[in-house]
Amino acid sequence: MSGDSTRCVKAVAAENVPGSPMQRGPVFAAPYQLSADEGTESDTYARASNPGWRDLESALATLEGAAGALVVGSGMSAVTVVLRSLLTAGDTVVVPSDGYYQVRAYARERLEPMGITVHELRTADMAGEAAAALLASAEGTTVVVAETPANPSLDVVDLRAVSEQCANAGAVLVVDNTTATPLGQQPLELGADVVVASGTKTLSGHSDLLMGYIAASDADFLAGMERERALSGTVLGPFETWLAHRSLGTAGLRFERQCANALALAALLESHPAAHRVRYPGLPEDPAHAVAAGQMRRFGGLVSFEVDSAEQFHRLVAGSELLVPATSFGGIHTSADRRARWGDPVPDGFVRISCGIEDTEDLVADLEQALSAL
């Protein structure tokens, strides 16, 4: 049983106990009643552990093919918890120069002043000779953060190749799996040490919560990260935990439609004179397609392209009935984001579309008429 929807439903299924609900409701307690037999309790205070987290973490570990998972308050929290638990002064971190801009900002503004050396590499170069030379000369513990497909460039790194390079150099490979999701790609199976992701987006999928998670193939590897989560307090609230667990069961259905919509929109954009430099790893003509096809089961719901200006972007959104102007991605509504406004090093007319679950024919027709009005 390997279908995505089957995997998602089974991942959130409760133990079959007659008279119990099919899925647990929200667990709201913060302090739990203690036992006179001190130290025997599984739960004492919700910031350290609670039943809601365990249900969600079990489901996420199942989907990522991981030995264990930890949930945190946001995708950015997942990145910072991992880096803080692995790096100290004298160590080295490599981050993508074309990935999520806040990761670069965190590395430069927080890690570098702590005496951690920060390097930036383009996603397409992370498995190349320059990366190998950098790893060979790096001092201390080295952590490589790869985001694939990168947001918003949608370039792809060969995870088998970069994991081999990291293993040869004794470096830790952390892969941001937000864009691909575990339904599109299994980084741990491809050699990664740790997976981080924003569950705010496709997995929870309804644009109604903030969540992140960490997964690893070695459960012992998570111990330091679990301690960092507890000490930093970057935790997931009980209602968000329940919402995410509830939503996860339909992730396979939603992601299948989002990927189908993305491929259809990418094909339209490639042929339309108003759209330039279209990127989608699922297009055979895309420069990342060969690598993506070798490691991804699905190519995701994001498409990027350029129009001539910021003004054209706003006209595009205004001329559409279905495009919602919004940042973040992965929800049921198709959204469009002009990434230059957030500081990404992209042209003013760079557009990232996150495909929702609308009927494909309707979405294509809507975007086509909006483009034709530019």
- Whether 215 contacts 225, CB under 8 Å: no
Question: Considering the entire predicted model, what is its pTM?
Answer: 0.95
Is 100 designated active site?
Answer: yes
CA distances 330 to 256, 278, 287, Å, are 12, 19, 23
**Neighbouring residues of 365: CB distance < 8 A, sequence distance ≥ 6:** none
Q: Which residue in the list 7, 32, 45, 47 is annotated as catalytic?
A: 47
The burial class, CB within 10 Å (0-12 / 13-18 / 19+), for 15 is: exposed
Exposed / middle / buried, residue 318 (Cβ in 10 Å: 0-12, 13-18, 19+): exposed
b (16+ CB within 10 A) / e for 213-244: bbbbbeeebbeebbebbeeeebbbbbebbbbb
Q: Distance between CA atoms of 14 and 12, rounded to whole angstroms?
A: 6
pLDDT, one tens digit for every residue, the chain (374 residues): 579 999 998 888 877 777 777 777 888 888 889 989 998 888 889 899 899 999 999 999 999 999 999 999 999 999 999 999 999 999 999 999 999 999 999 999 999 999 999 999 999 999 999 999 999 999 999 999 999 999 999 999 999 999 999 999 999 999 999 999 999 999 999 999 999 999 999 999 999 999 999 999 998 889 999 999 999 999 999 999 999 999 999 999 999 999 999 999 999 999 999 999 999 999 999 999 999 999 999 999 999 999 999 999 999 999 999 999 999 999 999 999 999 999 889 999 999 999 999 999 999 999 999 999 99
Composition of the chain by helix, strand, coil, percent to 5: 40, 15, 45
The pair of three-digit structure tokens given for residue 216, joined into one six-digit string: 């690893």
- What distance lies between CA 346 and its chain's CA centroid? 20
- Residues contacting 105, CB < 8 A, separation 6+: none
> Beta strand pairing status for 194-198 and 212-216?
antiparallel
Q: Residue 16's pLDDT is what?
A: 72
**Spacing of C-alpha 26 from chain mean position:** 24
Distance of alpha carbon 205 from alpha carbon 61, whole angstroms: 18
Give the CA distances from residue 175 to residues 139, 143, 144, 193, 217, in Å, rounded to whole numbers and listed in that order.
21, 10, 8, 8, 12
Give ∠ CA 17-20-22 in degrees, rounded to 5: 95
Active site residue 106: no
- Which of 4, 91, 155, 176 is catalytic? The answer is 176
Looking at residue 61, what is its pLDDT? 98
Structural tokens at position 59: 């489901």
- Catalytic choice (24, 84, 201, 338): 201
pLDDT at 17: 72
Starting at the edge strand found earlier in the chain, the sheet holding 142-147 runs 68-72, 212-216, 194-198, 172-176, 142-147, 92-96, 117-121
Determine which one of 55, 98, 100, 193 is catalytic.
Answer: 100
Q: How far apart are CA 40 and CA 302, in angstroms?
A: 47
Concerning whether 10 is annotated as a catalytic residue, the answer is no
3-state secondary structure 229-264: HHHHCCCCCHHHHHHHHHHHCCHHHHHHHHHHHHHH
- List Cβ neighbours of 281 (8 Å cut-off, separation of 6 or more): 149, 154, 156, 288, 289, 292, 296, 299, 300
State residue 371's pLDDT score.
97
Q: For residues 293 and 281, give the distance between their C-alpha atoms in angstroms, rounded to a whole number.
A: 8
Q: What is the pLDDT of residue 1?
A: 52
Tell which residue, 210, 212, 202, has the closest CA to residue 70: 212
Query: Which domains, and CATH codes, for the chain?
Result: 4-248 (3.40.640.10), 251-372 (3.90.1150.10)
- How many other CB atoms sit within 10 Å of the CB of residue 306? 20
Query: Cβ atoms within 10 A of the Cβ of 115, count?
Result: 12
Give the three-state DSSP class for 320.
coil
